Amino acid sequence: MLNLLKAYKLEFQKTKKSLGQHFLTNKHIISEIVDNLELKPDENVVEIGPGCGVVTYELLQKDINVTVVDIDEQVCDFLDRYLHFYKNLKIINKDFLAINRGELPDGKLKFVGNLPYNVSVKILEKCVEFIDDVDLMVFMFQKEVADRIISEPNSKTYSSLSVFCQYYFDIKRVRNISGSNFWPNTKVTSTILKFVPRKRFFDDVSVEKEFFKFVMAAFKSKRKTLKNNLSFLSKEQKDIIDELLGEKIRGEQLSLDDFIRLFRRLYAR
């Protein structure tokens, strides 16, 4: 697999900083990423940002179908030249954020990727658009972003992003990775997270959107109490907050379950 990295280095000498490209160089970490996908024969895997193809190559050794999506034409051309003989590979040269569901394989999908850190949260939100077909996801994030995703109430990193992600997924930290495991090296520590879809609390997508707007408002200012952040509520609704949680409660003190219970009580959902 690392022969692909050597070939890419010889041909291009460097990666594109504008696209946040840092390619994995540690074969043990690459194998760990693939192992966490829990692959079974004939499954469909979508790799986002394959880079020089070191993870792609490992995936192609399995009895599965692999679709890679990359915005970089240079990367897609490189993978096409070096991996074209694999019949279970499809290459899509496109920004993943602009992908339509019909461009990806039918049925359940597993997603994997060393995500460009500047758009990693947007890519995660895009995957949620396909949530009904998501089987499992294994992504690499900047550690600070990963900490926010898996954070618990009352911690400094807990935010609306934490609630959003934990609403849709059970999330596990697989491991942290030092910057020396990438080419080029980076000073940033990365984290691999594993996402397994969970049963959703609301069946109606429009209600989910209302719920997330509610949660975002609750985190608008961490210095303010929940009632002050939710200033648009009626007096009767604010009285319900006092009754259930107390008048001094803040948004960052509420768990996902707390937010669900409160939202249902306030809006009879």
Instruction: Walk along the chain (269 residues) and give the pLDDT tens digit of each residue.
Output: 678 988 988 888 888 877 778 899 999 999 999 999 999 999 999 999 999 999 999 999 999 999 999 999 999 999 999 999 999 999 999 999 999 999 999 999 999 999 988 999 999 999 999 999 999 999 999 999 999 999 999 999 999 999 999 999 999 999 999 999 999 899 999 999 999 999 999 999 999 999 999 999 999 998 899 999 999 999 999 999 999 999 899 999 999 999 999 999 998 76
Residue indicated by tokens 């390619």: 23
pLDDT value at residue 269: 61
Every domain range in the chain assigned CATH 3.40.50.150: 2-197
Q: For the domain 205-267, what is the CATH superfamily, name and number?
A: rRNA adenine dimethylase, C-terminal domain (1.10.8.100)
pLDDT value at residue 184: 86
Question: Hey, what amino acid is at 232?
Answer: F
User: What residue numbers does the annotated binding site for S-adenosyl-L-methionine cover?
Assistant: 22, 24, 49, 70, 95, 114
Residues 6+ apart with CB under 8 A from 57: 1, 4, 83
Nearest to 113 by CA among 80, 66, 147: 66
Count of Cβ atoms closer than 10 Å to residue 2 Cβ = 15
pLDDT value at residue 222: 84
Alpha-carbon torsion (170, 193, 37, 203), positive or negative: positive
What is the spatial distance between Cα 38 and Cα 40, in angstroms, rounded to a whole number? 7
Classify 231 as helix, strand or coil: coil
Classify 92 as helix, strand or coil: strand
What is the spatial distance between Cα 76 and Cα 69, in angstroms, rounded to a whole number? 8
Record the tokens describing residue 215, joined without a space.
Answer: 């949660």
User: What residue numbers does the annotated binding site cover?
Assistant: 22, 24, 49, 70, 95, 114
- Of 3.10.250.10, 3.40.220.10, 3.40.50.150, 3.40.190.10, which CATH number belongs to 2-197? 3.40.50.150
Question: Hey, what amino acid is at 102?
Answer: G
Every domain range in the chain assigned CATH 1.10.8.100: 205-267
pLDDT value at residue 268: 76
What is this structure's pTM? 0.94
